[in-house]
Amino acid sequence: MGPNVDITWEDLEPILRPEPGTVHMGIMQVDPEKCTHCGLCMVNCPFRAWEADENEVPRMKEEYECFSCYNCMVACPADAISIIEPYHVDSGFYKTEPHPLPARLPYEPKDAEGNATEWNTVERLIFTRRSVRNFKPDPVPETLIRRVLEAGRFAPSGGNCQPWKFIVVTDKTLIGEMDEACYGVLNMLYTTYKSDETVQGLLPMYAEDPNPGFFDPRIILGGMGSIAKKNLPTFLNAPVVILVAGDERAIGGREIAAGIAGENMNLAALSLGLGFCWVGFSQVIEMVPDVKEKLGLKDPWKITTAMVLGYPKFKQQGIVPREFRPITWFREGAGGPEIEE
């Protein structure tokens, strides 16, 4: 996308400066009677939102970020964690509608006749799929990596243009270089965003590529902030990084093609006993020419996303609630829309 010279700070201010008091981070709570003090909820929180109280029971910090991923819940072996309030925004550019969105488990499955049944293998894999951010150091055999890559290669794409290129990195030194490259860019952006004196300096960057999702509070305060604070490296200490480069000439756009291929790879990885996590921040390597050149990428190929693979350090899979937005149905004979709450 070309630059938009018409964007002004007045246009950008609602995006970069949500009204005070409108953004509400998620609130979770631990039952001290059930808690086993294992600490897995604290370890599995990507934003390090938890701390231990005087009785070694986890509690949310006074200042924290939580976008209601419920990673803490899924890692808890004692079912000691409950949702008090999900992440939501009352008003402004990022307003969640309706807010707060209710967190619901999957509907109970029924067959074609409406009778109760069981989830099939594919459905269960989808519902229990969770992003894994804590890996064992063990290497992943290339035979298994190849099976994950093949699942991506056989994904559907617009016009069968297959606009993806996979770059597999298992070299720890190069992964470290990519981590440092991403940290440099993300720390600069986060620091610029956090300061009222410098935040307007992001205007030229936004005008060049208007992408409000990049500045969603969950991403810039949570994800980007976590990397800037060095809570976690960009590539999560995983033994395998797969960069997905997309062809800018892609039919229908490179982003959706990479997403379709990547989800195939995600499910294939989980079926092989591997953990998987998307790494969207990998895109900032585009802003570090030396690293991009080392990866062998030239136009029209752009880093669209990345994923990391490895063996999970502990259980990070399971079914937890997801936000539920009303579904609109147009059923035969209904004469109009029906909103399912």
Angstrom CA distances, 201 to 12, 190, 204, stand at 11, 12, 7
Q: Does residue 293 form part of some domain?
A: yes
CA dihedral 278, 225, 297, 240 (to 10 degrees): -40
pLDDT of residue 209: 87
Q: Does residue 198 form part of some domain?
A: yes
pLDDT of residue 325: 87
Cα gap 90→77, rounded to integer Å? 34
Q: Do 150 and 89 belong together in one domain?
A: no
Domain end call among 103, 124, 150: 103
What is the per-residue pLDDT across 135-156, written as a single tens digit (0 to 9) for each? 999 999 999 999 999 999 999 9
Q: Do 143 and 96 belong together in one domain?
A: no
Q: Does residue 32 form part of some domain?
A: yes
Q: Do 169 and 262 belong together in one domain?
A: yes
Q: Do 39 and 177 belong together in one domain?
A: no
pLDDT of residue 1: 46
Q: Do 80 and 199 belong together in one domain?
A: no
Q: Does residue 54 form part of some domain?
A: yes
Instruction: Look up the domain containing 223 and give its range.
Output: 132-310
Q: Which long-range contacts (CB under 8 A, 24 or more apart) does 256-262 make?
A: 256/158, 257/155, 257/157, 257/158, 257/161, 257/162, 257/163, 257/164, 258/164, 258/304, 258/305, 259/305, 260/155, 260/156, 260/157, 261/152, 261/153, 261/155, 261/157, 261/164, 262/152, 262/305, 262/307
pTM of this prediction? 0.93
Q: Does residue 225 form part of some domain?
A: yes
Domain end call among 86, 103, 120: 103
The domain spanning residue 294 has which CATH number? 3.40.109.10
Q: Do 90 and 235 belong together in one domain?
A: no
Residue 60 is encoded by which pair of tokens?
Answer: 């949310």
Q: Does residue 238 form part of some domain?
A: yes
Tally of CB atoms within 10 A around 124: 14
The domain spanning residue 38 has which CATH number? 3.30.70.20
> Closest Cα partner for 71 from 277, 320, 268, 339?
320
Q: Do 162 and 59 belong together in one domain?
A: no
Q: Does residue 316 form part of some domain?
A: no
What is the per-residue pLDDT across 200-224, written as a single tens digit (0 to 9) for each? 999 999 998 899 999 999 999 999 9
Q: Do 199 and 262 belong together in one domain?
A: yes
Q: Do 258 and 208 belong together in one domain?
A: yes
Q: Looking at the chain, which runs of residues are DSSP E strands?
A: 23-24, 27-30, 50-52, 58-60, 81-85, 88-89, 103-104, 164-169, 240-247, 275-278, 301-310, 322-323, 327-329, 338-340
Q: Do 99 and 140 belong together in one domain?
A: no
pLDDT of residue 99: 73
Q: Which long-range contacts (CB under 8 A, 24 or more apart) does 67-70 make?
A: 67/25, 67/26, 67/218, 67/222, 68/26, 68/103, 68/323, 69/131, 70/28, 70/103, 70/320, 70/321
Q: Do 24 and 154 belong together in one domain?
A: no
Domain total in the chain: 2
> Digits of tens for pLDDT over the chain (341 positions)?
455 568 899 999 999 999 999 999 999 999 999 999 999 999 999 999 999 999 999 999 999 999 999 999 999 999 999 999 999 999 999 998 777 778 899 999 999 999 999 999 999 999 999 999 999 999 999 999 999 999 999 999 999 999 999 999 999 999 999 999 999 999 999 999 999 999 999 999 999 889 999 999 999 999 999 999 999 999 999 999 999 999 999 999 999 999 999 999 999 999 999 999 999 999 999 999 999 999 999 999 999 999 999 999 999 999 999 988 889 999 999 999 999 87
Q: Does residue 139 form part of some domain?
A: yes
Q: Do 81 and 172 belong together in one domain?
A: no
